[in-house]
Chain A
Amino acid sequence: MTGSGPVIATRALVKHFGPVRAVDGIDLTVRRGEIYGFLGANGSGKTTTVRLLLGLVLATSGEIELFGRAMPRSAGDVLHRVGALVEGPAAYGHLSGTTNLMLLDASARLPAGPGSGGRGRAARRARVSEAMDVVGLGAVGRRRVSAYSLGMRQRLGIAAALLRQPELLVLDEPTNGLDPQGIREVRQLLVELNRTGTTILLSSHLLAEVEQLCTRIGLLDRGRLVLQDEVATLRAPTGRTLVVTPDADAAHALLDGRVATRAGDRLLVETTDAAALNARLVAAGIRVVELGPERRTLEEVVAARTRERQAGEVAR
């Protein structure tokens, strides 16, 4: 429906809560078809940014566009193309999971037009039961939500986000409260949805999860976007080679001048040619336990870009 522009774009987005600058000039870009990992410690402004994107919180200054349309002015036109899970799921405890989704779907009419699904009751029922099946709640749909476990509620929240087959999914900590099996299922689901064209903004502080799923990340620190790049680029070889050897002293002497750092028996050598380096060490009779191009983990990238903060403030 919309051209190939970014699905989410913000310019100089600022949000103050009283004297606190929760979001401090963010330029976020999420392209169509991406799984975008939105990283940041608790209190870094992730959730506020997500709320800003969805029109729940209004920006102090700056611009937001969803599908090329200004938010929150066009909220009524674009939000039905978005599914979201914001800060945990929520549902009416006295109603069943299915009824909750039926009510949620009925609360706002789908715009008329092809590809938007039916507006009738039967279409709604079909939509709801499909969403419940996708998240594995088909069997407990009729049970009251107050009897649901934490994981089941999380799944219901995801089902609610998926209800209208949105083009954009905004998920805040989607695997919270799930068991390892559930986490795996959700990951598979996200990959599957992404494969069929859904753009996903995944806000998380689980670096491993983001590393596995995401194609691009944005890193938030104290309300500022300190990093926004492809995961592949961030994790590209650094141009140095890691050598682990019991004969570290000898190796250091041999490679004098090219060793960048040394920590115990681990040496970082300024070279991209690992094979040549290996040959040279072996020729000098130095025993090599491990040798390969250095790649940084996402954790290291994040640590390098995030300023130190006091112990109490650090994300759990």
Chain B
Amino acid sequence: MIRVELVKLLRRRRTWIAVGLLNLLPTIVAVLLAVTGIAPRPGQGPAFLAAVQANGSLFAIAALAIVLPLFLPVAVAVVAGESVAGEAQAGTLRYLLIRPVGRTRLLVAKLVAASVFVLLSVLTVVVVGFVVGRLALGNAPISQAMISVSGTVLTPGQIAWRTVVAIAFVTFSMLGVAAMALFLSTVTDSPQTASLGAMALLIGSSLLLTVDAARPLQPYLPTRYWLSFVDLYRDPVLLSSIERGVGLQAIYVVVLLGAGWANFATKDVTS
């Protein structure tokens, strides 16, 4: 069933349009940086953007920081919100269920497919960011060491494993949104409603993070630890927020997948 869902995902044109759009924004930023030479003021733009003028390879990480707060989660919300509601709207849900595909199995397969989409997006953003950064910005030799956020020198090997962990962390960070969209997707038969609902969660959470009065709530917000992937590029690596972020996302996935199961297992499929 998971294989079937992956085939459906990968053969849909929308998937690739979303991936393309995700890569477009960092590419535009890189080209603008190269043409104008104006780097954002320190502390202003996304992480690492101030540093890419010197080392274009860093743009792989900067690209991730550019798409992480909004573009990536919106793409995830659209894909995951479509998962069950889209099948219901197209009428294919009933044919899957009488095949028969177990309802819980369907939910899990959909979540796995959404996760694969996230991983695919994140990987292409990193790869495209790396290539574009080297072409448009600084092209210091690849073997040259990178400077960590803490001002120490990282070997290419250290950068490689830290980036692999960062990709895994960012992918995992998106699962909360994916699970929310998937849950809403079982509630409504309209994929748009499900996606918008998940985006509302996302925007609400980002907003509450900026409100001082909401501080007691903040450790529970799904977007709380998203930007913590930067901690991987500190020296020594700061795992505290990474661990908290992974734990929080895991809880969101368990709770929302549970809610999706509770709702969908005996839902009347009348679409």
Q: Which residues of A contact B (CB under 8 A)?
A: 17, 51, 54-58, 75-76, 79-80, 82, 84, 86-95, 99, 103-104, 106-108, 160
Contacts and interface: CB of A to CB of B under 8 A. Distances in A.
A107 B99 contact: yes
Contact of A86 (B4, B8, B94, B99): B94
Q: Is chain B's binding surface mostly helix, strand, loop or mixed?
A: loop
Nearest to A108: B99
Interface string B68-94: 000000000000000000000011101
Interface in B191-205: none
Among A88, A89, A92, A93, find the residue whose CB has the most chain B CB atoms closer than 10 A.
A92
Interface in B8-63: 8, 11-13
A76 B102 contact: yes
B92 A58 contact: no
Contact of A54 (B1, B98, B266): B98
A168 to B, nearest CB: 11
B7 interface: yes
A107 B266 CA distance: 20
Contact of B97 (A55, A80, A89, A95): A55
Given A56-B268, A106-B4, A90 B90 contact: yes
A59 to B, nearest CB: 10
B269 interface: yes
Contacts of B266: 58
B95 interface: yes
Interface residues of B, number: 24
A106 B269 CA distance: 22
A55 B11 CA distance: 30
B100 A75 contact: yes
Nearest to A103: B4
Contact of B7 (A84, A86, A103): A103
B142 interface: no
A108 B95 contact: no
A55 B94 contact: no
Contacts of B97: 54-56
A160 B90 contact: no
Nearest to B96: A107
B12 to A, nearest CB: 6
B270 interface: yes
Nearest to B99: A108
B94 A90 contact: yes
Given A92-B8, A107-B101, 7 more contacts: A55-B97, A57-B270, A82-B98, A90-B90, A93-B90, A94-B12, A107-B99
* A82, A90, A91 pick with most chain B CB within 10 angstroms: A90
A90 B91 contact: yes
Given A90-B95, A103-B8, A107-B99, A51 B90 contact: no
Contact of B98 (A55, A103, A106): A55
B91 A107 contact: no
B92 A108 contact: no
17 contacts: A51-B268, A51-B270, A56-B97, A56-B269, A56-B270, A57-B269, A58-B266, A86-B98, A88-B91, A89-B91, A90-B94, A90-B95, A92-B92, A95-B8, A95-B11, A103-B7, A107-B99
